[in-house]
A and B are shown apart, each in its own frame.
With several copies, the nearest count.
Chain A
Amino acid sequence: MIPEKQQRHILETMLRIRAFEHKALQLFEQNKLRGSCHLCVGQEAIAAVICELLDDEDYITCSHRGHGYCIAKGGELKPAMAELMGKETGYCKGRGGSMHIVNMAKGHLGANAIVGGGIPIAVGGALACKLKNNGHVAVAFFGDGASNQGTFHESLNLAGVWKLPVVFVCENNGFGISVPFCQSTSVKDVSVRASGYDMPGVTVDGNDPEAVYAAAAQALERAKAGLGPTLIECKTYRWYGHWIGDPEITRDKAVTKEWKEKCPINRLKMQMIKTGNLSDKEFSEMEKAAKQEADDAAEFSLNSPEPDPATVMDDVFADRVPAII
């Protein structure tokens, strides 16, 4: 069971993520936000629960579907939304956009627009933890599609053979854009691949915060004990298209509807109400606060300045070099 205080915080985080995503969608539809924008609505539990178990010195990497991770890992909505709008006040000063949010202060090594690209980077984070012997861990979050990239294999083998403090978390939402999981992947569960690296592999209902929590807690314990990595597959579903604007040619609306019934927010809310840890009123207040925060973030971002084109060459190198023409 998730401790009560953490339950509340996870619920709050999920609500903040959802409010953020819906605000982004709204802004997009109002033509106030653009770009490749991948929403994680429906999948919030994975980010919210697992990051709850991490602290600021633990590292994560994540995929293009990364807003939730940014928020769950301690990110603020304002610079996150500002980044989606390409504003100077964004996490990457408008250079990165939706797919490249970073937040080093919170141990977020960055989202990655190359499918599978962030997995070895998390392994490197774990290697740094091991070499510094600081007791910290790294978590790589990636989609089911990414589990067919070579980097997945190389990363799991590296982590396995070096017994690195890292947890691999596959958000299996059943699709890579239009391609169903079964058409791209030779196994039914990504977690079975763990045995190819002599590490535990487990599949959980990614919409069940308790299940995700239990699996992650065990994996993190294992990692911190020096016993090496774990692969956790979280089965989930996205409520919206691959990106905003996706025609969703191959997805069945009825299935989406079913998954909406399995909303992770609702699930944790009901559990907490049932155990007396939450009232309807409290929930409404939390939800309202989250929406307000998202509204404020939008407001902040809309009013933020565009980056100055004159600064475009500023951040190429840390150690400045004589200018190249």
Chain B
Amino acid sequence: MSVKKYSEAIRDVIAEEMRRDASVFVMGEDVADQGGIFGCTKGLLEQFGPERIRNTPISEAGFVGAGVGAASCGMRPIVELMYMDFTYVAMDQILNQAAKIRNMFGGKVSLPLVIRGQQGVGRGNAGQHSQSVESIFMHIPGLKVAMPSSPADAAGLLRSAIRMNDPVMFFEHKALYATAGEVPDDPEFMIPFGKAHVLVEGRDVTVVCNHLYVQKALNVRAKLEKEGIHMEVIDPRTLVPLDVTTVVESVKKTGRLVVVHEAHKIGGWGAELASQVQELAFRYLDAPVLRLGAKQCTLPFNLGLENAVVPQEADIEAAVKQVCYR
């Protein structure tokens, strides 16, 4: 085990996989000399050279498309988007090409492509640089979707993603890069997709969340425990595949579910999870499934407003109490 920052965990896995497999390479804006504006490829140019750590023009559709093409031809590109908000610029290459190529071609092509980058609030980057866009990629079939919430998850999920033969949308969070945690040194350490992480057990209410909300939920849990409410906190880790089973098992025990995410509430992945759980655990639910997510407005620049848009610990607390009828 080594203590690493989330960004270091990502960088180290990329480096290890690049050493292990010559077909792995990186491209994106400012990934070379700068090592990515969040440092996720820092030092890799020196180790691997400019062919494999490749600065791109500001042409997201073009270089994501080049990633699709290279992956079709046996390479394993890791494409960095500086902000996942820029997926929109490359959306056709992601949703109409990467997601569909294998299926539309009758299984004749595999696409080992990772598109990774950060998203979310915390720096007051305003509307076009603060979104959490993962839910869109869950809706259109053909993409796997990962969302690591800790350095270890970042390492384990990213290695799985790189070795996977399918396109993966890999969502990091800008406010997690500086958080540190233990990461296994094993160069084969992988976390499987589709296996939720039960961070802590509890008998009263299930809270499903990820990214920044894992820590926030744990904070709320510590507080509410003193009030006699025992929260079970689950991080799905991947949205595609989504480990509904673990959540349903938990809800069968607790009878209550709150889903929390930073993505907009309306049409977010919480809606999908809530719908599945109310279907699969209907008789076990003692209260409606509650969802927390960003309000339906554009993420504002002002930090006070930003905080008013995304769920806060107090909102989690209130929702948990509500489903517990307290």
Cβ of B182 within 8 Å of any chain A Cβ, yes or no, is: no
A95→B96 contact, CB < 8 A: no
Contact digits for A139-161, partner B, Cβ 8 Å, 1 yes 0 no: 00000011011110011011001
Residue in A35, A90, A123, A161 whose CB lies within 8 Å of B106 = A90
* Distance to closest chain B CB from A66 (angstroms): 12
Pairwise interchain contact B66-A120, C-beta atoms closer than 8 A: yes
Q: Which of B66-117 contact A (CB under 8 A)?
A: 66-75, 77, 85-86, 89, 92-93, 96-97, 101-111
Within the complex, which residue of B33, B72, B126, B243 is in contact with A97, where a contact is CB–CB below 8 Å? Answer: B126
B192 shortest CB reach to chain A, Å = 9
B-side interface residues, number (CB < 8 Å): 87
Are B106 and A318 in touch, CB under 8 angstroms? Answer: no
Q: Is A284 an interface residue (CB 8 A)?
A: no
Are B276 and A325 in contact, with the CB atoms below 8 A? yes
Residues of the A chain whose Cβ atoms lie less than 8 Å from the Cβ of B229: none
Contact with B along A110-151 (1 / 0, CB 8 A): 101111110111111111111110000010000001101111
Given contacts A131-B25, A250-B34, contact A61 B165 (CB under 8 A): no
A309: Cβ under 8 A from any B Cβ? yes
Q: How far is the CA of A113 from the CA of B83 in the complex (A)?
A: 11
Majority secondary structure, B binding face: loop
Provide the residues of chain A in CB contact with B307, threshold 8 Å.
309
Partner of B66, one of A97, A123, A179, A319: A123
Q: Are A178 and B57 in contact (CB under 8 A)?
A: no
Give the chain A neighbours of B68 by CB distance below 8 A: 120-121, 124
CB atoms of A148 and B58 under 8 A apart: yes
Considering the complex, give the chain A residue whose CB is closest to the CB of B82.
Answer: A177
Is the beta-carbon distance between B301 and A97 smaller than 8 angstroms? yes
Which residues of A have CB within 8 Å of B108? Answer: 91-92, 102-104
Q: How far, in angstroms, from A161 to B50 measured CA to CA in the complex?
A: 13
Q: A104-B109, A318-B102 known; A148 and B57 CB under 8 Å?
A: yes
CB under 8 Å from chain A, chain B span 156-182: 164-166
CB contacts (< 8 Å) of B104 on chain A: these are: 92, 95-96, 100
The answer for the CA separation of A315 and B51 in the assembled complex, in Å, is 33
Given contacts A120-B93, A124-B72, A161-B57, contact A151 B65 (CB under 8 A): yes
Shortest C-beta distance, A82 to chain B (Å), equals: 11
Encode contact with A along B135-167: 1 for CB under 8 Å, 0 otherwise: 000000110100000000000000000001110
Which A286-325 residues sit within 8 Å CB-CB of chain B?
A: 306-307, 309-310, 312-319, 321-325
Chain A residue nearest to B163 (CB atoms) is A319
How many residue pairs link A and B with beta carbons under 8 A? The number is 295
Residue among B75, B86, B240, B300 making CB contact with A312, cutoff 8 Å: B300
Residue B199 is within 8 A (CB to CB) of chain A in the complex: no
* Cα distance A117–B266 in the bound complex, in angstroms: 26
B124–A322 CB distance below 8 A: no
| A154-B61 Cα distance, complex, nearest whole Å | 8
Please determine whether A316 and B126 come into contact, CB atoms closer than 8 angstroms: no
A59, A87, A102, A120: which contacts B105 (Cβ < 8 A)? A102
Q: Which of A112, A129, A158, A247 contacts B57 (CB 8 A)?
A: A158
Q: Quick check: B266 and A120 within 8 Å, CB to CB?
A: no
Also in contact, A177 and B302, with CB within 8 A (given A120-B61, A123-B62, A151-B61)? no
A275 neighbours in B (Cβ, 8 Å): none
A209 in the interface (beta carbon within 8 A): no
Instruction: List 25 contacting pairs A-B, 8 Å CB cutoff, sorted by A.
Output: A35-B124, A86-B304, A95-B302, A95-B305, A97-B301, A98-B301, A102-B109, A114-B128, A127-B70, A128-B75, A131-B23, A149-B59, A151-B61, A151-B62, A154-B65, A176-B30, A177-B29, A177-B30, A310-B308, A313-B297, A316-B297, A317-B144, A317-B166, A322-B194, A324-B241
* Given A83-B301, A100-B104, A131-B23, 19 other A-B residues pairs in contact with their CB atoms under 8 A: A86-B303, A91-B108, A95-B302, A97-B124, A110-B105, A120-B65, A121-B68, A128-B73, A149-B59, A150-B61, A161-B57, A184-B58, A249-B34, A312-B295, A315-B297, A316-B103, A316-B296, A321-B144, A324-B266
